[in-house]
Amino acid sequence: MTNDDSPTRIPSGIDLHAIGPYGDTLGDGIVQVSFSLPIPASPEAREAARRLAVQMGLNEPQIYREADLGYGFSFWIVYGKCRHHVDVTRIVVPKITSAALSFEEINALVLDNAGRRLRIVGACTGTDAHTVGIDAILNMKGFAGEYGLERYPAFEVFNLGSQVTNGTLLAKVRETGADAVLVSQVVTQKDVHLSNLAEWVDMVEADGLRQGLLLLCGGPRITHEVALELGFDAGFGAGTTPRQVAAWLAQEWVRRKK
């Protein structure tokens, strides 16, 4: 990361070797943290919250808000000054590197090179019943003013919906001869999304389908780095638009077939 090459220009005078948070004034370190405690709100609980903030690395912590949640629980919002800094120049984050393409360019790229529509299977798997993410990418109406993959002439889409077992998803992949699979995971309590996604990759590999299949996953706690670690080809986080996914799919499929 440099001042000249960053997508968003970095203010002059910023030391990228020592980046820290700020609230009112650059470099003041002010942050806000919130948490619950399994004790009722009381002077002792207030002091416990303050001391916890100190142990988190905050200087001069101040209790901004406290609330008794009932049943012996309390909620706290604390302001404080973070004493830590990060050297941004030493951070390397894997990113999706596909070029931005228009709706028309994506369709032309696929149909000119494949001579057919790519078959895309998507699902929200495991016990996860949240279809907002997978529908935003696949449904014809799309998201953020962009068409979903169902609207693309270059794609044949099979949206299986929510609470789909990995076994059911695998059977649909075999049935359709899918070129790519999109798995959405919204529920992340106790990292259930990680175990479910890892199981899916293991099943695909055991079935001998991995080599010819593009695997994508997405969700609020999914990053490209996490996806790669789990054995996927790409990961898309919150705010991803359908065209970003479509552009990556088209370019990666063509690249692998050359």
Backbone angles phi, psi at 178, to 5 degrees: -60, 145
Note every long-range contact of 8-17, with CB atoms under 8 Å and residues 24 or more positions apart, other chains counting.
16/87, 16/88, 16/89, 17/87, 17/88, 17/89
Alpha-carbon span 10 to 3, nearest angstrom: 5
Answer for the pair 158, 176: CB distance below 8 angstroms, yes or no.
yes
Any residues with CB less than 8 A from the CB of 164 and at least 6 apart, and which?
Answer: 123, 124, 125, 126
Residues comprising the chain, all counted? 258
Alpha-carbon span 133 to 48, nearest angstrom: 39
What's the token pair of residue 34? 């919130």
Select which of 81, 141, 190, 257 is catalytic: 141
DSSP-derived 3-state class of residue 86: strand
> Is residue 258 annotated as a catalytic residue, yes or no?
no
Backbone angles phi, psi at 36, to 5 degrees: -110, 150
Active site residues: 141
